[in-house]
């Protein structure tokens, strides 16, 4: 599966959710807030900022699932605005996770307040750096995305 195809998978999932939940209004801001929360959930699972604790990060699978929750909302926001990426922005840059989470949060907020294509692409670049620093390859991300996408359908079908 190619990265670009995730935009179509996301569009299908989103319309299924919207029909299932009878949503006929614009939910761009809700998705934007959801993205900031998914980012925070990921940061929380890495525990990168918890200088007060000696407990290590959650298991890789947990981190990857949190990561692809963000990817769902990021794809969805792009679909809402008609923005697509032609390819995964490969960004192999070593960064301090805490600093990078804060920068990513800032990039998301800039996009929500001014949803330009440039701002959108920037958010992807920040996520790519996060992926690199968390040790996730594009294949890992696509695989985990497909699994979570299916879980999201099941949750809807089961009256989540």
For ligand DUT, the binding residues (CB under 6 A) are 13-14, 17, 69, 72-73, 76, 148, 152
- Strand blocks (E) in the chain: none
CB of 64 to ligand DUT, least distance (A): 12
Closer to ligand DUT by Cβ: residue 67 or 126: 67
Decide: helix, strand or coil at residue 11: helix
Q: How far is the CB of 136 from ligand DUT (least distance, A)?
A: 16
Residue closer to ligand DUT by CB (options 13, 141) is: 13
- State the minimum distance, in angstroms, from the CB of residue 158 to ligand DUT: 13
Cβ at position 7, least distance to ligand DUT in Å: 12
Matching residue, tokens 């299932």: 20
Residue nearest to ligand DUT (CB): 72
What lies within 8 Å, CB to CB, of 20 at 6+ separation is: 156
CA-to-CA distance for 42 and 75, rounded, in angstroms? 17
Query: 22: which DSSP letter?
Result: T
Which tokens in the block code for residue 63? 């981190």
């Amino acid at each position: 599966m190619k990265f670009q195809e995730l935009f179509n998978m996301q569009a299908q999932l989103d319309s299924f959710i919207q029909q299932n939940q009878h949503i006929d209004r614009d939910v761009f801001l809700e998705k934007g807030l959801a993205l900031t929360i998914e980012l925070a959930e990921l940061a929380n699972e890495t525990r990168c900022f918890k200088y007060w604790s000696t407990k290590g990060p959650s298991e890789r699978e947990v981190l990857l699932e949190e990561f692809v929750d963000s990817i769902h909302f990021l794809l969805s926001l792009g679909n809402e605005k008609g923005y697509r990426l032609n390819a995964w922005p490969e960004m192999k840059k070593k960064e301090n996770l805490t600093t990078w989470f804060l920068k990513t949060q800032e990039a998301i907020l800039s996009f929500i307040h001014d949803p330009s294509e440039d701002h959108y692409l920037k958010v992807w670049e920040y996520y790519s750096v996060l992926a690199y620093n968390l040790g996730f390859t594009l294949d890992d991300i696509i695989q985990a995305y497909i699994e979570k996408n299916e879980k999201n359908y099941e949750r809807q079908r089961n009256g989540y």
